[in-house]
Every structure is written in C-alpha cells, then in structure tokens.
Amino acid sequence: MKLKFKIQDFQTQAVQAVVDCFQGQGNQQSRFTLDPGNRDIGLLKFTKWQLPGFKNPDVFLTPDEVLENIVKVQTREGLCLSKELEGQFNLTVEMETGTGKTYVYIKTMFELFEKYGWGKYIVVVPSIAIREGVRKSFEMTEKHFMDLYGRKARYFIYNSKDLSKIDQFAGDSGINVMIINTQAFNARGKDARRIYMELDEFQSREPIDVIARTRPILIIDEPQSVEGKKTKEALKLFKPLFFLRYSATHREEYNKVFRLDALDAYNKKLVKKINVKGITVKGSTATDSYLYLEGIDLSKKHAPLARVELEVKSKSGVRRVLRKLSTNDNLYDLSGGLEQYKGYIVSQVNGQTNTVEFANGVILEAGDVQGDENEATLRRIQIRETIKSHLKKEKELFPRGIKVLSLFFIDEVAGYRKYDKDGNVAPGDYALMFQEEYQARIDEILDQAEGGDPYAEYLRRIEPEKTHNGYFSIDKKGRLTNPRLGRRETDSQDETAYDLIMKNKERLLSFAEPTRFIFSHSALKEGWDNPNVFQICTLKHSESTIKKRQEVGRGLRLCVNQDGDRIDGSVHGVDVHQTNVLSVIASESYESFVRELQKEIASTLSDRPVKADKEFFLGNVISNERQEEIKIDERMANKIYQTFVRNNYVDEEDRLTQDYFQAVEQDALALPDELKPYQDSVKELVSRIYDEKAAKWAENERELNVELKLNNRNFSRQEFQKLWKKINVKSAYTVSFESDELIQKSIAALNTRLSVSDLSVVIRDGELKEIKSKSELESGRSFTLKESQSKNVYGNVSSGVRYDLVGKIMETTRLTRKTILGILSGMNEDRFALFQKNPEDFIIKAGRIINEEKASVIIERITYNPTDKIFETDIFTQNTMKGKLGVNAFEVERHIYDHVITDSGIESEFVRKLDASKAEVTVYAKLPRGFFIPTPVGDYNPDWAIVFKEEAVKHVYFIAETKGSMNSLELRRIEEAKIHCARKHFEQISNSTVQYGVIDSYEKLLDVVR
C-alpha cells in the first residue's frame, strides 16, 4: 500500500506565502569553487584540485523590499504586520499538527527552486523520531513531486561517518537536502562534534565549511524544541541565506507569514475530531463498595440500563463482572450477598444526565469509579475502554478498508516489559492486563459472530500476542529502557519494532500487518504520528511533563484506506468528522483533561483577535463570489460594527455573543445592504476571532449515549420502501455546450471584472523588458519578464522570471489551449496589459473568473440520466452517528431510526414538528451521508426524505433541504448550483413523482406540499 498525496488549497497557500516574500528576486544560478582538499592518488598528492560547486544565489532584494513583501503577505493572511525584519530573513509558518507541514516545506523547496533558483536546504530537527519522519516524508512524496515538477530532490541524513554525501550536496545543481538533528552540531569544547573538525577522511577539510559555502536555506522543524541558546549560535555557522521555521507551537515568532492553527484546522475539518473518555475517582460511603459506571444504554425497546462493574461472590472467590442494571435492582442480591453492597438499590437510571442513583443517596456519573483507588484498577479500566473503543471503531471501518491503530503512552518501560537479573524477558503489568482484557473482548465478539463474517475472520487470523508492539530505547545490554533527553536512541534499538513503527508507515497501515496496538514512552511525544491512530490511552501519572496537545497530536491526522486515499472532504458520501474521530482514554476526568487541553491550545492563539470592534474590521480586504475585492474603510468598518451592536452580535466588551453564532448557523447574518454580497467573506473574516466560550476542543464521549438503531417497523413500511425505490437510483450528469459560448462569456467577464493589485518592486540598475504582444499568443510560447542585475558586489548575474500564461490558466481551468487562447485574444488591450502590472495576480484572478463562467455554463446545460446502479440499504445500517439525548438527539415515532440526530437548531425545531404531524406525515428519514448526488461543484447530500398521507397533501413524496434563509441572494452560489442539480436529478430519476424543495420551516414545507 502506498499513501497518495493530493494538492490541497491550504497547503498551496502556505507554500505561496513563503514564495511571495521574495517577489521580484529573479531566477539565476550561482557557482563557487568546491575545494576537494588534499587527495592522495597513487604516489601523487594533489592539492587545489578545482571542482564546480553550486550555492544558493544571494538575496538581491533590499531588506526594505523583503519587508514590504512580507507585510503584503501578512495583510492577505490576516496576520499581525511586521514593523521590521525580526531576525533578518527569518520567516515563521504555523501549521497545526496533522495538517502536513513536512509536505508543505518540501513543496516550498521545489517552488523556491523553480522561481528563484534556490536548491540548497538543511532541515534541522530536534530528535531521532522527527528525523526519521522527515526522511520518510521525502521518500513517500518523491513520485508525487516528480509528477508535479519533473524532478527529484536529493536528500540524505547527515552522518559524520559518511561525509562523501556533503561533496555531492555541494556539487549538484538541483534540489539538495540534508537532514540533521541538533546533537550533530550543537556541542562544543572537548565534546566538539566532527562536523567542526579537519578530518583526514574528508581531505583535511571541515564539513561545516563546505556546507556553509553553499549558503543553505535552513528549515527548522519544531523550533521550540531546537532553538536553545547554544543551538542558535551553532546555526549561524551554517551561514544560512535565511531561516524558515515550521511548527504548531512556536515559542518565538519572527515575521509570521502563514497561520493554520488549531482553530482553523478543526473548523475546516483538516484534522480529526477529539472525543474524551475520562475516569473520575469518587469517595464512597462504604470504602469497600467497588463500583464503576461504564455508561448508559438507551433504547426505545426498554427503559435505560446502566452498565456497572461490581464485585460478585462465587465458589471460586470474589471477581469483578459487568452487569446491566435497571430501576429496583439490588446490588446486594446481584453480588451474591456481599455486605458492602447493602443499601445499593437502583432508584433511577437517567439517560439525559448519564447517571445512576441508588436508594442510599449515592449518585454515579458515567466514568466514575468508587471504592478502589488502587492504580492498577484504574489502569485496567483504561486499557479495557481503549480495547472496546478500538474494536467498535474497527468493526465500523473494516468494511471500508481502514485499519485502526491504538497508542498507549506509559510511565515506565517496566509496565510493558520486565527483565530478571539474567536478562530473561517477561511481560510487564500493562502487557498482562492488555492480553487478559483483549482476549475477553475478542471472545465476546467471536461468540456472537455469524458464520462468514469477514471481520470475525480477520480477528481470528491475528494472534493476540502479535497484535501489540512497543517502541522504546534500548540499553547496551539490548534491554528496553526509558529514553533520556538528548540521548542517541538509534544505534541499539529493537530493529523490528523500530523499523515498523518509525520507518514502515505503509506496512503498519496494512491489514497484513498484525500490529494494531502500540505501547511507547515519551519518545513518541512529537515527530511521529500515524493517520490511522484512532485511540490514545494515557497510562501515565498526572504529573507527567508530556502536554495534552502533544499526546493528541499523535492521532490528529486524517485517516487513509488500504488504497492510500485520505478520507477527507473530497471523498464521496463522507462526513469527515463522523469517520475521523480520535478517542482519548484519559487518566483523569473529562473536565480536567479538556480544561488543560483548552488552556494549552489557547496559549498558542494569543495573536488572534478576540474582539469584533471597529478597529478589527478596518483595513481588511473582503471579496464577493466574483472575487471582486474591496478594502474596508472607516465608514464601512463603522457600519459593520454598528450592525453588530444593533443585532446583539457583540456584548459590552465587543466579544461575540451566542446571537452571532446562531445567525451564522441559520444563514441569517445581518449586514449593511452594500456588504450583503460580501457575506461569506465577512464571516470568514470574523472566524479569525478566538472566542473561548464558543471553542469546543473535545467532546465527552460518555455523553454521546445515543447511537442510531433502525426502527424496522418504519423502515419496512410499504410507503417508505416505495419512496426509496424511487430515489435510490444513481445518476450521472452530462454537460453539452459550445466552446464559443464559454469563450464569449469569459471575454465579457474579464473585460468588465478583472482587476489586479499593484506590484511595487524596485529593480536596481535594471529594466522591465516589454512583454510579447497579445497578437503573438498563438505562438504558444512562454511569456518572460526580464530584469538585469549588474553593478553589485556579487558580480554580473542575469535573470528572468518565466510565465507560461496560457499553460498556467490551463492548469487552473482545465480547459484546452485553444479555448484559453481564444479567451485571451478577445480581451481588450487595456485589460490584457494588466498582465505586465502584476503577472501572478493576473493569472490567479483570470483563472477564477473563467472558472465561474465555466460553472455557470455547465449548470445551465447539465442533464442527469439514471444509471443501472442503486444505493443499497446498507447506507442506513452503516450510519454510525452519535448524539447526546435531549441536546441534539431526540426520540421519535415516525422516523426510520429510533432517534433523530440533528445538526442545528433549525433542524431540531423542524423535526419536532415533523414527527408530531400525525395528520400529514406517514414516515420520514434523515438521509445519511452515504446518499449523495454528484454535481460539477461537489457531491450533494439532501437532508430529508418524507412520505406524506395522500389525503392530506398534493405531493406525497418529498425531498426537503432545510435552510435558515430562503433569500436566494443569501444562498451561496455553490449551494444554489447544487440545489439546481438536485432538482434536475430527482425530476429525471422519478419521472417528476418526487418533489424536491428548499424550506426554512415545517410550516413552509406544508405550504409547498399542499
């Protein structure tokens, strides 16, 4: 299995942010003489044997010009503006863990080489784990970048025992990357590293001198762990051209040019959603009355049941068992007469509060443990809960080809593996607990499995002792040991586990590899992650120095299937945060864990604005759907702010209120009339504000006690099955239009709407040569902006920035060269001349406008046709949504499930009235994500399928989309396009017997169907 990589907008944006900081630099190649030192060849000794070396061209822009570029980027990205070059040419990129920062800086290397000729890079990392992760990323992305750029990067890990690679690094004219960890160069004095020594095997040269002459660009991976005082001084010896610093948690920030923090990543569904299973130790009225409330079971078939572990007396002694308790159950009787349970009679099981009450006044909440504060008991509960969560997730995802992994963090290696005085190995306490609990859970599943169940067969094939493994350091005797800060870990590790966990990510993700549970010490706190870690269990003391954010970071990356495809928003019929959920089984209460996690995340959001006052809006650039931009001046800023005040969107301190978030949810945000076309851009702008009350970093998994179960009586009803047969047909769309129509519409749009921003670049002692005329477009040759640099201390260097205008717009629009030539040739001369003003902005904005016109033509000319494929009913049985009773989950009568889980307040109100409408409604379904309609602007998943009673309405079969606003001006164009396509789809597949409509209330729905 090979992981696949796709071009993602946010990663492209991060790359472009760095590239644009050097706008106007030009592209050239710089050489130097690579002195090979003294070489013995036979009986002759040669000195000064000259070889060509290649270095990064110097930055010819002045510091003021670079600063001007940086400020432009920061303005575009909504960041604090640099007043000076903090740490000259030192750029900071913030990217949340799991969003692909390594991919981003590798792609940045290719772009900087393509545009400016910079090909020498050193990636500096703080640990072996990160170093191996970086090396693996280069390996996995090699083909991807070869396909994109037609070249490969040469990369290697610095090894003082193999210095020949340094000569190769210096002597090659392409992209060359050295990966080095700080221990290789930051020690001085008697412990000086070989990198500073004149070495015989390196022809009496110092490795650092040869490296420094290449003027490398230093990429600092996780600078908060790299840049101690001593390391900062050592880094200067590399004589870097400039620094690029990448992390999710920067301690120091210099000229930040891109931010994708925890808030952005979560809101954009670029990382997993986090659920927490906490454990709370409670005192008890009777010290020996051990009880653990695992959770509450809810069903329409019976009253709520409490899953409680208690002690039970048997002939073989006292053991702990799990029982399902209901009202009036007596624990004294169930325990076989154990005295400590006298008075423990269940008085109430409450699914809404997730509690069980006893007649003696004791109340337990899900996750509470009482009567045994023994640490072994708590760790066993954590291990059991992890295994249960793992197996439940695994059963859900196995049919979709997604392997599930779980990660245990432990205090000491002895918990996993022990050694006697003779060095014989024995499993530690945690390993023994794991094996016992795993076997018990597996036995339960296999006993209940039906014959031929593929998942059961998968479990049977895996030997329990082979399903777990560990990654730790090893001492000189080959024994697992706890890693120490700064210790070199690689020379004596358990090679099998090390290679599997640290190097062979694809193998670990394969079903053919039995390892599914990984135990580790803090060695994996950063630098290692795996997209398919779905459970993280912290078997640690609370005083551990590993931060909550570091822990969850190991499992935030979106998962992949066996084909190497990432399960993100581009996958058909998928809710990203329904599939991608990371369960943290904590060693403390949910409240305690989340409070600390929120505190850690909030500390990284300190540069975000917190108020929506007039100053916040002033000076920002917003755009409408046609990408027409305006800058918010003082008048506009004041109008927006006053609108927010009048609608109670801000409180007395100008912080956002619940009314604002509700208006956004309902698509009913009030804005001044002149700014309504810019509504989406304003919402995007306001989303930069950090509101601690609104941010919810993790949910309490124990409160999500409603799982959808099919109401077979409703699902099997003839009325619903008749509707289902009308709508389960899959369709395919075709678009037929003339290229001339698109060409003429695009020309008109470009001539009226295209504008580009000013590009201010000072070119010293040079000239901007005139671009080739529009009449020469048919030649198909590249356009070139040329500049010359002569009178400078670096010597004569000529450069040229090449722009393949036609080719670039072809990439953006996916139209033929002939069509693009037709569009550009038809533009007015004054509009086409804007290319000279700002070539890159011209390419970006022209591409957007042409794409908008293409979408418009496609929607107008689209036709849907039924195929011979249908949606199977398993999309209903595979619906694994979870909800909280009374909050977003409601018990219902006419739905095809026993509950409805809603996404918004609008849906909650709608479904209450829908379900109560006995006179009109027969049966209905909230359609799962697996039911979707393909459209040219992305898949579309309708909300509701409803069967009305014939005598009550005109339209019996109805597909409804619930929207907070019915004003077409307030519906985004992309939503309008999907709605248009949905109407065409249902008309075609049902011969117009199924009505489709967009409504904002149940009353509006009744008006339509009547």
Residue at 417: amino acid letter: R
CB atoms within 10 A of CB 198: 12
Whether residue 182 has pLDDT greater than 60:
yes
Read off the pLDDT of each residue in 720-733 and give the average, rounded to a whole number.
95
Residue 684: which of 604, 634, 617 has the closest Cα? Answer: 617
For residue 271, the model assigns a pLDDT of 95
Burial 509-539 (b: 16+ CB within 10 A, else e): beeebebbbbbbbbbbbbbbbbbbbbbbbbb
pLDDT digits (tens, 9 = 90+) for 361-377: 999 999 999 987 688 89
Contact 774, 750 (CB under 8 A): no
Euclidean distance between CA atoms 139 and 269, whole angstroms: 27
Euclidean distance between CA atoms 1004 and 996, whole angstroms: 13
For residue 711, the model assigns a pLDDT of 93
Q: What is the CA radius of gyration of the chain?
A: 32
**Residue linked to tokens 């569009």:** 823
CB atoms within 10 A of CB 858: 19
More confident residue, 1007 or 760: 1007
For residue 204, the model assigns a pLDDT of 66
Instruction: Assign 482 a pLDDT band (cuts: 50, 70, 90).
Output: low
284-293, 580-589, 718-727, 980-989: segment of lowest average pLDDT: 284-293
Euclidean distance between CA atoms 864 and 735, whole angstroms: 9
Contact 848, 622 (CB under 8 A): no
For residue 764, the model assigns a pLDDT of 34
For residue 2, the model assigns a pLDDT of 84
pLDDT digits (tens, 9 = 90+) for 920-950: 999 999 999 899 999 887 889 999 999 999 9
Whether residue 87 has pLDDT greater than 70:
no
37-46, 123-132, 963-972: segment of lowest average pLDDT: 37-46
Euclidean distance between CA atoms 732 and 638, whole angstroms: 49
pLDDT digits (tens, 9 = 90+) for 444-467: 999 988 888 999 999 999 999 999
pLDDT digits (tens, 9 = 90+) for 651-677: 999 999 999 988 887 778 899 988 888
For residue 200, the model assigns a pLDDT of 64
Read off the pLDDT of each residue in 261-274 and give the average, rounded to a whole number.
91
Whether residue 793 has pLDDT greater than 70:
no
Please enumerate in sequence order all residues whose Cβ is within 8 A of that of 139, keeping only pairs 6 or more positions apart, or say none.
none
Whether residue 185 has pLDDT greater than 80:
no
pLDDT digits (tens, 9 = 90+) for 412-433: 888 888 877 777 888 899 999 9
For residue 975, the model assigns a pLDDT of 80
Contact 148, 175 (CB under 8 A): no
For residue 46, the model assigns a pLDDT of 44
235-239, 472-476, 798-802, 816-820: segment of lowest average pLDDT: 798-802
Euclidean distance between CA atoms 702 and 294, whole angstroms: 8
CB atoms within 10 A of CB 290: 22
What are the start-end ranges of the E strands in 736-879?
783-789, 797-803, 862-870
Whether residue 919 has pLDDT greater than 60:
yes
Please enumerate in sequence order all residues whose Cβ is within 8 A of that of 707, keeping only pairs 6 or more positions apart, or say none.
880, 881, 882
Longest dimension (CA), the chain: 108
Whether residue 637 has pLDDT greater than 90:
yes
Whether residue 786 has pLDDT greater than 80:
no
Contact 789, 706 (CB under 8 A): no
Instruction: Assign 191 a pLDDT band (cuts: 50, 70, 90).
Output: very low
Whether residue 785 has pLDDT greater than 70:
no
In percent, how much of the chain has pLDDT > 90? 50
Whether residue 105 has pLDDT greater than 70:
yes
**Residue linked to tokens 């493994």:** 469
Residue 3: which of 105, 162, 139 has the closest Cα? Answer: 139
For residue 36, the model assigns a pLDDT of 63
Instruction: Assign 233 a pLDDT band (cuts: 50, 70, 90).
Output: confident
Could you tell me the sign of the dihedral formed by the alpha carbons of 197, 200, 205, 211, in that order?
Answer: negative
Tokens for 178?
Answer: 């050295």
542-551, 627-636, 834-843: segment of lowest average pLDDT: 542-551
Instruction: Assign 195 a pLDDT band (cuts: 50, 70, 90).
Output: confident
Instruction: Assign 762 a pLDDT band (cuts: 50, 70, 90).
Output: very low
For residue 480, the model assigns a pLDDT of 55
Whether residue 770 has pLDDT greater than 50:
no
132-136, 329-333, 887-891, 972-976: segment of lowest average pLDDT: 972-976
CA 973-977-982 angle, to 5 degrees, is: 145
Whether residue 260 has pLDDT greater than 90:
yes
Euclidean distance between CA atoms 102 and 123, whole angstroms: 10
pLDDT digits (tens, 9 = 90+) for 12-61: 999 999 999 999 898 877 777 666 655 544 444 444 445 678 899 999 99
For residue 41, the model assigns a pLDDT of 43
For residue 16, the model assigns a pLDDT of 94
Euclidean distance between CA atoms 229 and 446, whole angstroms: 58
For 468, the enclosing helix (H) or strand (E) is strand 468-471
In percent, how much of the chain has pLDDT > 70? 86
Read off the pLDDT of each residue in 883-904 and give the average, rounded to a whole number.
92
Could you tell me the sign of the dihedral formed by the alpha carbons of 114, 116, 122, 123, in that order?
Answer: negative
Euclidean distance between CA atoms 340 and 295, whole angstroms: 22
For residue 486, the model assigns a pLDDT of 35
Q: Fill in the DSSP letter of residue 163.
A: T
More confident residue, 972 or 578: 578
For residue 760, the model assigns a pLDDT of 42
Phi and psi at residue 549, in whole multiples of 5°?
A: -65, -35
Whether residue 777 has pLDDT greater than 90:
no
pLDDT digits (tens, 9 = 90+) for 596-621: 898 888 888 878 899 999 999 998 88
Residue at 672: amino acid letter: P
